[in-house]
Structures are given as C-alpha cells and as structure tokens.
A = this chain, B = another copy of it.
Amino acid sequence: MKTYDCIIVGAGILGLATAYHIKMKAPNDTILIVDKFEGPGFGDTSKSAAAFREFFYSRANILLARSTIDFYWDLQKNQGIDLGIKWIGYLFLMSHSEFESLVPILKKMSREGIEYKTYLPEDLEDVGFRTHVLKDEEARLMNLKNIDVGLFIPRAGILKIENIVKFYETELKQLDVDIMYRTEVKGFILEPTKPIGIPEEPFPWQEIKVSGIRTNRGTFRAKRKIVVAVGAWCESLLNPIGIGVPIRPKKRQIFVLRAENKSLLKLLRSPKFNKEEILPVTILPRGIYIRPEPSENAFWVGYADKLGRAYTLEEDPQPEEEFYIYGIYPVLTKYIPQFIDIRPINAWAGHYDINVVDGVPIVHEEANLIVVGGTSGSGIMKADALGRIVAATYIGEEYAELYGGIKIRAKDLSLSERRIEPEKLVI
C-alpha cells in the first residue's frame, strides 16, 4: 500500500488547481491525484460552456471569480501562456420590470467594483435582436416579454478550458505530483484517531478519521489529508461514509449552432460591444444563453432548466434533441429569428454540481477529509481561488491569500462556520 502526504480525488479543474496550490504551500509534501476518467478534466470540466464573469451577487463569489480570472489573465498576458481568454463581456437582455428588480442588486455589486453599462432596444435591434416580440401573437401566448434593456458586463468573456487544464497539468508534472487516471475510488479507509490496535477498529464510539482510499488499482494511504474534488460525484462518494454536503448533480446541455448565414455571422461578429468584435455571451429573458465560439463560426447555446429537471447523476449524460427543439428553439427564435430552421451540428451534456442551499462553493474539512465543490456551474472561473483556499485548509492556515493579494478566511466557505452571502445570479 503506497502512502502519500496528500491524496486528491478528482483531476478536474478543481483537483488540478488544488494540487498546484498545495504544492506551492507545502513543496515537500507528496501528492497523488486519482481520477476515474482517462485524462485531466475529462469529466464535467470538459463539458463547460467555458465562459467567465466576475458578475456575481455574493461577495465571496466575486472574490473567487475575480482573483481566478486575474490569475488566468496574468498567465496569458504576461507569461505567454495562451488560455484563449477573450474579454467579450456578458449581455443580459431583459424587460423593464426585470431590470427594476435587479437595480438594488446592481447597486450592491457596484460597491464591490462590478462595472456595467446598459443598451437601448434600438442598439440591440441594430445588433440583430428582436426586442419588440410582443408584436408577435405567439410570443404573447408564450408569455414572453419585450427586451427593454441590454445590461452589458465588460469584465467577462470566454476562454479555452483545455488550455487551463493543460497549464495546471504541465506544472504538476514538473512538481512531481503523481496522477493516476482510470483509477476509480471504491471507498475510503476509516481509522480511529487513537487506535487500540485490534483489527475490528474503528468502532462507532471511537473518534474516526479518513486515512486512505480503496480504488480499482489498489489502496492508497494519506498521511496528512484527503481532498475530494469530484463535482457531481460528491454525494455518491461521500454518502456511504456519512459525510453530508448539500451538493447535488443536475444535467446541463450545450447545443452548437453554426452561423450558417450572413445575418448570423453579422450577429456573431458584432463590433458594438468589445474590441474583439464578437457578440458577448448573451442571456435571453427566460435564461437561455448564447456563447459565441468565433473560432468555429458558431454559437454554443444552453439553458439551465430548474424545476422539472431532476437532480440525478448520469455516468455518461447525453444531450436531448427534444430539449433543444421544445426547450430552447421556440424562445431563441422569437428573440433572434436568424436562428429559424437552424439545427445543432453538435451537442454535449454534463452536470452542474449545485450547492442547493446558497449557490456559493464549499470548502469543508471533516475528519481529515477536505471536500471542495458546489460550484453550481461556475467552477472553472473560480478554480484557482478555490485551490488556494483548499491549500490553506490543508496546511491549517486561517486565511487564504488569493491571486492579487486579497485574503479570505478559509472557513467562510465551510459548512460548520459558513459566512457568505447567498448567490442570486446562478445562470
């Protein structure tokens, strides 16, 4: 049985960033990362919409996203590591009444340094959106609303997940971190903190810690701590040992629509919003989002359906064509008629690992095990900061220093001493 100082379960973006920052904090500690998939980020990391924003309500989420994005941007801008970051912004299209209800939230966010500007319906019509949908009887029947305001967030954009994964993985190899793929955790080893020395241990009345993992490729022991960074698999891994975290998996789908005609190309290459001359990541009134992929002349389109979409884990989630046809297309084509008759040329599905209570990530230590997750669909844009918070927790520091120098109390993200504002802007 091989022993490491630290075992990390999960080589998704959170596991990789965590290993990197533990190595920064404790360079002599040996680390093993195990992952059931064939390579790094092959789980839900690779299914992401690959967009980022620091536009959150919760101060914790703002700090996590801002410092992570700043870190990524420094790599790209100053270290010559192309992460595919394009600052194209986010554009939320909404009615007057939706905007009105957002105003107090925007005021609070302004105080946290979040900038925004607004566009008028005329501007949006120029770009290619249909704002006065209520002229259309069907749209009225569908209970849709006119677009009265375009809320633009400049500090946001798109990036290339695989490049970020590659960055961390390359660093980890140089730092002598062992990564074992195709290695599935079947269970944890529980041991008494003060053993008696008989084989039946641990007994229920003993104080117990988690001290290792059993996998299809053998048993491994962690001298110091175990980190569980498995996203949607959190419950299925931790329920059996009785560690409870309010993280649930929910299927999420992305459909790729090619900008097949001139009017869609015009929309995609809109020069109005940013220097990249690309349409921002756009969120339509009912929550459908459109994420440009300029390198493919395409849009990635998705929708985070809530009620009616089960919390359930699928080992190989598949996109549902019906979901595009009945769940997305009818609304999409009301606001952007250029998409009429356009069918997806590609699609995929993954999971959000949703924190069902407050929508802010969790970094929680219990019995020598640190669980990090509950990123609720915004894990990649917070991964580096979360890695630093796990590393601080790992070495027992009260505060984690995020990129840029801001400090955050590590236990603010725990369950036992949680101190965060609930998030109101889960997309």
Asked if A114 lies at the interface with its beta carbon under 8 angstroms from chain B, I say no
Asked if A318 lies at the interface with its beta carbon under 8 angstroms from chain B, I say no
Question: In the bound complex, how far is the Cα of B202 from the Cα of A330, in angstroms?
Answer: 13
| Cβ contacts under 8 Å, A143 to chain B | 194, 206-207
Asked if A425 lies at the interface with its beta carbon under 8 angstroms from chain B, I say no
Asked if A354 lies at the interface with its beta carbon under 8 angstroms from chain B, I say yes
Question: In the bound complex, how far is the Cα of B240 from the Cα of A250, in angstroms?
Answer: 10
Asked if A308 lies at the interface with its beta carbon under 8 angstroms from chain B, I say yes
A213-252 residues at the B interface, CB under 8 angstroms: 239-246, 248, 250
User: A307, A331, A416 — which one has the most chain B CB atoms within 10 A of its CB?
Assistant: A307
Report yes or no: A204 in contact with B326, Cβ–Cβ below 8 A.
yes
Cβ distance A207 to chain B, nearest Cβ, rounded Å: 8
Q: Would you mind naming 23 contact pairs between A and B with Cβ atoms under 8 Å apart?
A: A141-B196, A143-B194, A143-B206, A143-B207, A202-B308, A203-B326, A204-B303, A204-B305, A204-B309, A204-B328, A205-B328, A239-B248, A239-B311, A240-B310, A241-B308, A241-B310, A242-B250, A242-B307, A242-B308, A243-B307, A246-B246, A246-B357, A356-B415
Chain A residues with a Cβ under 8 A of chain B: 141-143, 190, 194, 196, 200, 202-208, 210, 239-246, 248, 250, 286-288, 303, 305-312, 323, 326-328, 330-331, 354, 356-357, 366-367, 415-416, 418, 422
With A143-B207, A204-B327, A205-B330 given, name 19 new contacts (CB 8 A).
A142-B205, A143-B194, A143-B206, A190-B308, A202-B308, A203-B327, A204-B309, A205-B287, A205-B288, A205-B303, A239-B311, A241-B310, A242-B250, A242-B306, A242-B308, A244-B311, A244-B354, A245-B356, A246-B356
